[in-house]
Chains A and B, each alone.
Chain A
């Protein structure tokens, strides 16, 4: 009796161990704002930064004063990456622009797609497919009155198994005509990771 119980327990334990030997990785969807898994910059850090910057910009008194009752034309320059890791700064800029655009406080132009604009206009003018009266001619686009720019910097310290990582997003909104900085803000992120005693 005793032996059969031990045998059953052994079989059960072996079955449990074997169940982890699948060749396919386990994939599941997780929340966008999940807990950090590395000390590197993660999607939730970028999302929080974009949200914070958008709220800060929209509620700044100086911005209201500069904007007045108008909806100024804004361009967003990709943020400069001064860190040692690869971060898609264009994607960060795109998220920021989308959120600001939805607020309705600004109008936007995109300098980075000007080449495509020229290709379309050239095609409309030269290929003979477009009605010449309806073809869009150059020299009519809005001019950016303000632009948003910024940078991401980092400070990394390592003591033994502990890595202390500090990131700082800093952004400024500049009025092109006056050259004045209308708004500026920072978002700081600090993370710590401790490597396991054993492992590689």
Chain B
């Protein structure tokens, strides 16, 4: 009887682990910047990523009449990290501009290093930007 229970427990554990495969946490760190007021909001939704990548600095300017944002990310780990990031742009009504054209880009961050990622709005209507950083394992 004891043995049967152990066997059933092993089967249940295997089934549980199989069900968990594919459950990748796709949440990440979000940095929202309002280019009109200069306010920046950092939201860290992924505990694992929060312990690996920190948002150091957010700068913004304008070039050729288009908004531009520079966000400095720092690795808190000693090992090399690979993350994906995407910078989206929104108009005054909060509508996303060129959503399909904005891709997730790959970024390698060496141990304890910082990198600055830059995004340029391709439309003069953009007033705010949103950087989303996610773990590369979330890219399927």
Contacts and interface: CB of A to CB of B under 8 A. Distances in A.
Interface of A: 1-2, 5, 9, 12, 30-35, 44, 47-48, 50-52, 54-55, 58-61, 63-64, 99, 102-105
Contacts of B102: 51
Contact of A102 (B68, B98, B103, B119): B98
11 contacts: A5-B8, A31-B140, A34-B140, A44-B104, A51-B103, A58-B120, A63-B64, A99-B101, A103-B66, A104-B124, A105-B64
A33 B122 contact: no
SS of B interface (majority): mixed
B92 interface: no
Interface string B66-77: 101000000000
Contacts of A61: 63-64
Interface residues of B, number: 29
A59 B3 CA distance: 70
B34 interface: no
B4 A64 contact: no
Given A47-B103, A58-B122, 18 more contacts: A1-B4, A2-B4, A5-B7, A9-B7, A9-B11, A12-B11, A30-B140, A31-B140, A33-B139, A44-B103, A50-B101, A51-B101, A55-B120, A58-B120, A60-B64, A61-B63, A99-B101, A103-B122
B103 A59 contact: no
B113 interface: no
Contacts of B139: 31, 33-35
Interface string B105-134: 110000000000011101110000000000
B120 A33 contact: no
Given A34-B139, A48-B103, A51-B102, A59 B66 contact: yes
